[in-house]
A and B are shown apart, each in its own frame.
Chain A
Amino acid sequence: MAGDSKRLRFPRYGGWPLAELVPQPAFGRRLYKGTGVALALAVLSAVAVGPFFYVLSISFRNSIGLFNYPPHWLPVPFIVSNYTRLVTQFPFWRWIGNTLLVATSVTLIKVVIDSMAGYAFAKLEFAGRRIAFGVILLTLMVPQAMLLIPLFFIVRDLGIYDTYWALILPPLANPIGVFMLRSIIRGLPKDVDNAARVDNCNEFQIYRHVVLPLIKPGLVVVATITFVAQFSSFVWPLVGTQSANLQVLTVGLASLNPDRASVSYGLIAAASVLSTAIITVVFLMLQSQFKGTSLLGALKG
């Protein structure tokens, strides 16, 4: 336990618990306990990442290698044609490009408008504040699937059906970011913005030059959550667009049906692996913005 002051510290060899495996009878019980925790975590993380590695292995097989019994865990024979076919015969890069464009736009706009709204709710007194916030809280419970049809009609009436705008604008209404940023901004000491007010800053200057720099970790969290959710979003892009040029990754992936002659299981696996790899890279890039803190610290509502 982290708070256990009596916990014995083993010399750091920089490696895995090997250092703790040095047989020292006095530590027997602690050794046993530590192994149990490590084992449990190893099993849990194996279950978490295992399915992905199984699909990774499938993505390098042809259909004959796949149906062998007893199964080989490693791809034998090893082929890469699933990947080459995916990027040559299917508009995979187009799907990725569309997804990145839409997810980036949504994330950038959302971080700006959500932090502005969060600032107003956290630091400003105004008429209608409680009602406005109550309405926003209530809509957190609205299932997205319920809004698909009205959104379809609204988007059509605005004349943006089957355009990038149809993919970018509706997701902006999701209020979860306002909710999170409000609680983060509320956590800032009052003295910070009051000091700026005394120095004759207007509210926008306070927001831009005092609050925003202070809540950067929170902004990165909201950006990460928005981006990952947007990367994964499937049903609205399916309803809001129809032309092949606008297909995002998830819609493209779903169109890869093993019943189609040109689609093999290996190809589907390759597509799943590639798309997971791309979002993981983006996620790690966003995470590196933290410098010292991590998503964990700021996830708290």
Chain B
Amino acid sequence: MATIASNPDAVELRELSRARRRYLLRRSLTAWAFLLPEVVVFVIFMLVPVGWVIRQSFLSGGVLSPARWAGLANWKQAVHDPMVVQAAENTVLFTAIIVPIIFTLSIAAASALRAVKRGGAPLRAAIYFPQLIPSVAAAQIWLFMIHPDFGVLNVVNRALHHPPIDFVGQPHPAFSLVVMFEVWRGIGYWSLFILAAMLAVPTNQYEAATLDGAGPLRRFWHVTLPGIQSPLTVAVLLSAISALQIFDSIYILTNGGPNGATQSIVTYMFQTVFQTGEVGYGAVLGLTFLILIIVLTAGLVLFVRRRNRLQAETL
């Protein structure tokens, strides 16, 4: 050691590396100082609750009675619960119906909005409008739309001499009510998102395609769609994640009924906890669902990345 210490170059090197370490430490500390407020609320109101749910999934007993270690009992119960199966089926079905409808209509709306020369701003505002309405008010509005006596949908029905449809009390109408509501609210957001992506496609590609004799349909298929592929994938992914979490609209419109026909995983979890008080079982449902979403999303991301070489930072 002494020999190294006496070597002036080595001393300088060691000084340098110490300075460098100090610099690195300082840099990390600065960054964490920026992160501190976010980290505090994030830990208290996100990580701790998630941890609590994980712990609770192994406990029996409600909120009021003392908790006992239940091992895997809650998890076993979930495997044999027919309502879990139905709720999972409904959730997947909701997602598989809502997301394609929203994106077909949103792409059409975005293309039309881009083509329109005048009056674009009010049209965009009108299409975005349902997003703005507070969820409870929006649900009230739809309950008016489907009211058996004065709802618009049933007035049409009555004019055709059909009996009014009970949208909340019958399984299929209730299901389609939730779908209609979600599509109605979702199109505004995603069509504007897709419009923004379309406007970013370089115009010279269209000019080249036009010179090559491509009509509007072929330009759409060979220029527009490839041009918006990566934002579109992100959009589909995000909307699928939120569709899998469908809760607010069902809670207000049908509360999962009739007879579980519109029960989604999240509404079933909510009912388990807040209506029957089985906290541990509710925690298991929530976790199962969380794992399901993470696996689905990871699968989708991997699939997309491999197919499209989508950059990691987009996601």
Chain A interfacial positions (CB closer than 8 Å to B): 1-6, 12, 16-17, 33-34, 37-38, 40-41, 44-45, 47-52, 54-55, 58, 66-67, 69-71, 112-114, 116-117, 119-120, 124-129, 132, 135-151, 153-154, 169-170, 172-173, 175, 178, 183, 186, 203, 207, 228, 231-232, 234-235, 239, 249-250, 253-254, 265, 268-269, 271-272, 275-276, 279-280, 283, 295-297, 299-301
Contact = CB atoms under 8 A, between A and B. Distances in A.
Interface in B127-147: 127, 129-137, 140-142, 144-145
Contacts of B53: 146-147, 149-150
A144 to B, nearest CB: 8
Given A124-B30, A136-B42, A154 B48 contact: yes
Q: Is the interface of B mostly helix, strand, loop or mixed?
A: helix
Contact of A142 (B116, B134, B145, B290): B290
B129 A54 contact: no
B150 A71 contact: yes
Contacts of B118: 12, 16-17
Interface stretch (B2-10, B74-82, B166-174, B187-195): B187-195
A61 to B, nearest CB: 9
B38 A143 contact: no
A145 B200 CA distance: 36
B41 A48 contact: no
Contact of A151 (B49, B150, B269): B49
A4 B206 contact: yes
Contacts of A301: 231, 234, 238, 314
22 contacts: A1-B219, A3-B203, A38-B116, A40-B108, A51-B142, A51-B152, A66-B150, A71-B150, A113-B41, A114-B38, A124-B31, A126-B30, A143-B247, A143-B286, A143-B290, A150-B52, A154-B48, A183-B313, A232-B135, A265-B150, A275-B137, A283-B132
A283 B45 CA distance: 28
Contacts of B52: 150, 153-154
B304 interface: no
Contact of B297 (A58, A141, A279, A295): A141
Contacts of A183: 313
Contacts of A250: 134-137
A119 B287 CA distance: 32
B101 interface: no
A129 B241 CA distance: 25
Given A154-B48, A275-B134, A268 B248 contact: no
A48 B130 contact: yes
B226 to A, nearest CB: 14
Contacts of A55: 140-141, 144
B32 interface: yes
Interface of B: 24, 27-28, 30-32, 34-35, 37-39, 41-42, 44-50, 52-53, 56, 63, 105, 108-109, 112-116, 118-119, 123-124, 126-127, 129-137, 140-142, 144-145, 149-150, 152, 155, 158-159, 184, 187-188, 192-193, 195-197, 199-201, 203-207, 210, 216, 219, 231, 234, 238, 241, 245, 247-248, 251-252, 266, 269-270, 273-274, 279, 282-283, 286-287, 289-290, 293-294, 297, 313-315
A145 B203 contact: no
Contacts of B313: 183, 186
A154 B31 contact: no
B34 A296 contact: no
A71 B159 CA distance: 11
Contacts of A295: 192
A253 B203 contact: no
A291 to B, nearest CB: 14
Contacts of A132: 35, 39
A51 B63 CA distance: 42
Contact of A41 (B42, B112, B130, B137): B112
A1 B192 contact: no
Given A2-B114, A124-B30, A41 B45 contact: no
A234 B135 contact: yes
B150 A5 contact: no
Given A116-B35, A300-B231, 15 more contacts: A12-B118, A16-B119, A37-B112, A45-B126, A45-B127, A137-B315, A139-B46, A139-B50, A143-B247, A149-B283, A172-B41, A234-B135, A250-B134, A269-B140, A296-B192
Given A1-B114, A143-B245, A228-B131, A269 B144 contact: yes
